[in-house]
């Protein structure tokens, strides 16, 4: 940033300095030429034709330098077939008459005809009254004074612009340093968090960085929540497996007659617990994906085909818009819908109706069956792990518990109601809609 600012400042100052040098140099040169033009006009006004047709000045010019040899200020009047009328300052020299003019305008040019004394020359052709000759009036002055003024001007410009550039670059460097200082504070705060000294970035920072710090703290909190959930799930799983393992070890130690049955029963219990916690762990791990998204209709069709093969005698109808999406991983959405639709097909009377609808920021699924339903006082209990109201059919009793846990992980809800159309159970699943 400092290098870019320095290069840009240098480029701008260089361009501005060159432009200003051109303007001021032209102004000084123009003022120099105006003074010579004043002398040239005075010469033309004072000129007259002598008795022999030669040109004369009826009054001397006011500048004393015209009388001093090699003073640096000269004039000359030239005409064809006449000796040039020169100022005494020219001494034994004369101004060259080279340029051919066919007008009476003033012409200005630089000349090096005097060797080491460069000249600034103004000349003009004039036809005086009483003479048919076109006279060339010339005024010349050494460029030493003009070049000295331009040199002083340029030296002042270079020094001023160099000082200005150094000041601007130093200011840009200070601005960059202090502007990025809050980021260094954030870096140090992150280093303290990594070393365990702090848990959040809590230093006061500018408003421009506050949203970034808030998001960083939210990310840290999210990771801490996931870590805490992982620890809690590991503890719950260990606690859930501890009792069945104790029962198996006690039965094995006592050489119980029903040891095989005990092992099978407790192993089934442990498998249910492992399946449940693995499902939660997968959902928690995928929840952190910022781009979690699943199309609703393809998932419904896939679940319908799978459940239809398991229960070919059950009729499954699906209704609703086909362009809805939810902020859930596709695997978790399939698991949610698969558990609910499979339960409806398993415990219903042969008909399952699934309705999907979009609402403000959410997608709602209504899964209805024509079974006997669930009494209202038992609807909350059915979400407990291992709870089963109908033990005559195979199952682990984890389906609704997994549905509730996974839905809550994604910020959704699930509730049980009575179906008004089919008379059985109605499961209302609500999940956050995906934002395009």
Taking only the tens place, the pLDDT of each residue in 331-376 is 889 989 998 999 899 888 899 999 999 988 899 999 999 988 888 8
Does residue 395 have a pLDDT over 50? Answer: no
Q: Region 34-40: what's the mean pLDDT?
A: 93
User: What is the structure's pLDDT at 258?
Assistant: 81
62 phi and psi angles, rounded to 5 deg: -75, -20
- CB–CB of 204/185 below 8 Å? no
User: What is the structure's pLDDT at 256?
Assistant: 79
- Cα–Cα distance between 407 and 383 in angstroms, integer? 12
Q: Quickly list H helices, 254-293.
A: 259-287
Q: Region 23-30: what's the mean pLDDT?
A: 94
Distance set, CA 219 to CA 152, 202, 283 (Å):
63, 14, 18
User: What is the structure's pLDDT at 362?
Assistant: 93
Total count of residues recorded for the chain: 436
User: What is the structure's pLDDT at 331?
Assistant: 85
- CB–CB of 119/142 below 8 Å? yes
Q: Which of 125-139, 175-189, 253-267 has the lowest mean pLDDT?
A: 253-267
Q: How confident is the model at residue 388 (pLDDT cuts 50, 70, 90)?
A: very low
Distance set, CA 422 to CA 120, 160, 206, 375, 419 (Å):
111, 91, 60, 15, 6
Does residue 401 have a pLDDT over 80? Answer: no
CB atoms within 10 A of CB 174: 11
**pLDDT top residue among 47 and 265:** 47
**pLDDT top residue among 31 and 234:** 31
**pLDDT top residue among 64 and 402:** 64
- Cα–Cα distance between 14 and 430 in angstroms, integer? 66
Does residue 317 have a pLDDT over 90? Answer: yes
H-helix or E-strand spanning residue 145: helix 144-194
DSSP codes of every residue in 1-13: -HHHHHHHHHHHH
Strand partners, 366: 355, 428
User: What is the structure's pLDDT at 102?
Assistant: 80
CB atoms within 10 A of CB 198: 15
% the chain with pLDDT above 70: 90
Strand partners, 318: 354
**pLDDT top residue among 383 and 346:** 346
Mean pLDDT over the full length of the chain: 85
Does residue 396 have a pLDDT over 50? Answer: no
Q: Region 202-228: what's the mean pLDDT?
A: 82
Q: Region 99-117: what's the mean pLDDT?
A: 87
From the CA atom positions of the chain, what is the Rg in Å? 51
User: What is the structure's pLDDT at 240?
Assistant: 67
Q: Region 402-423: what's the mean pLDDT?
A: 87
**Strand locations in 112-197 (E):** 119-127, 134-142
Most confident of 305-309, 400-404, 420-424: 305-309
365: left (phi over 0), alpha (psi -120 to 50) or beta: beta
% the chain with pLDDT above 90: 43
H-helix or E-strand spanning residue 57: strand 55-57
| Cα 298 from chain centre | 37
Q: Region 50-74: what's the mean pLDDT?
A: 89
Q: Quote the Cα angle for 153-155-157, to 5°.
A: 70
User: What is the structure's pLDDT at 397?
Assistant: 40
Does residue 204 have a pLDDT over 90? Answer: no
H-helix or E-strand spanning residue 25: helix 2-46
Q: Region 176-188: what's the mean pLDDT?
A: 87
User: What is the structure's pLDDT at 221?
Assistant: 84
- Cα–Cα distance between 315 and 33 in angstroms, integer? 107
H-helix or E-strand spanning residue 35: helix 2-46
User: What is the structure's pLDDT at 394?
Assistant: 43
**pLDDT top residue among 57 and 198:** 57
User: What is the structure's pLDDT at 283?
Assistant: 59
pLDDT digits (tens, 9 = 90+) for 228-285: 777 776 766 676 677 788 878 888 888 877 888 888 888 877 776 677 666 666 656 5
């Amino acid at each position: 940033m400092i290098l870019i600012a320095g290069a840009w400042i240098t480029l701008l100052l260089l361009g501005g300095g060159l432009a200003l040098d051109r303007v001021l140099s032209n102004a000084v040169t123009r003022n120099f030429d105006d003074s010579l033009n004043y002398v040239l006009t005075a010469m033309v006004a004072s000129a007259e034709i002598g008795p022999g047709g030669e040109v004369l000045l009826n009054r001397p010019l006011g500048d004393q330098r015209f009388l001093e040899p090699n003073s640096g200020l000269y004039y000359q009047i030239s005409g064809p077939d006449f000796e040039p009328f020169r100022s005494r300052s020219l001494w034994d020299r004369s101004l060259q008459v080279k340029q051919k003019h066919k007008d009476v305008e003033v012409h200005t040019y630089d000349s090096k005809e005097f060797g080491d004394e460069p000249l600034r020359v103004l000349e003009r052709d004039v036809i005086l009254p009483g003479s048919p000759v076109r006279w060339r009036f010339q005024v010349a002055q050494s460029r030493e004074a003009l070049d000295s003024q331009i040199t002083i001007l340029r030296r002042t410009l270079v020094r001023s612009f160099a000082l200005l550039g150094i000041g601007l670059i130093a200011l840009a460097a200070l601005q960059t340093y202090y502007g990025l200082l809050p980021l260094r504070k954030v870096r140090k705060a992150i280093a303290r968090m990594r070393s365990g000294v702090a848990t959040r970035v809590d230093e006061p920072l500018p408003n421009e960085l506050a949203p970034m710090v808030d998001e960083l703290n939210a990310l840290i909190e999210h990771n801490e929540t996931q870590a805490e959930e992982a620890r809690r799930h590991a503890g719950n799983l260990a606690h859930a497996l501890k009792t069945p393992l104790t029962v198996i070890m006690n039965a094995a130690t006592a050489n119980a007659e029903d040891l095989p049955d005990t092992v099978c029963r407790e192993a089934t219990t442990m498998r249910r617990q492992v399946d449940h916690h693995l499902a939660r762990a997968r959902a928690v791990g995928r929840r952190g994906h910022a781009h979690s998204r699943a199309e609703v209709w393809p998932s419904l069709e896939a679940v319908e085909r799978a459940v239809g093969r398991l229960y070919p005698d059950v009729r499954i109808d699906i209704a609703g818009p086909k362009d809805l999406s939810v902020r859930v991983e596709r695997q978790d959405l399939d698991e949610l819908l698969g558990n609910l639709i499979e339960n409806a097909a398993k415990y219903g009377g042969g008909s399952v109706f699934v309705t999907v609808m979009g609402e403000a920021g959410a997608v709602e699924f209504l899964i209805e069956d024509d079974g006997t339903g669930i009494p209202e006082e038992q609807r909350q209990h059915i979400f407990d792990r291992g709870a089963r109201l109908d033990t005559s059919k195979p199952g682990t009793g984890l389906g609704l518990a997994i549905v509730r846990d996974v839905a809550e992980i994604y910020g959704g809800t699930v509730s049980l109601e009575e179906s008004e159309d089919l008379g059985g159970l109605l499961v209302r699943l609500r999940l956050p809609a995906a934002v395009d």
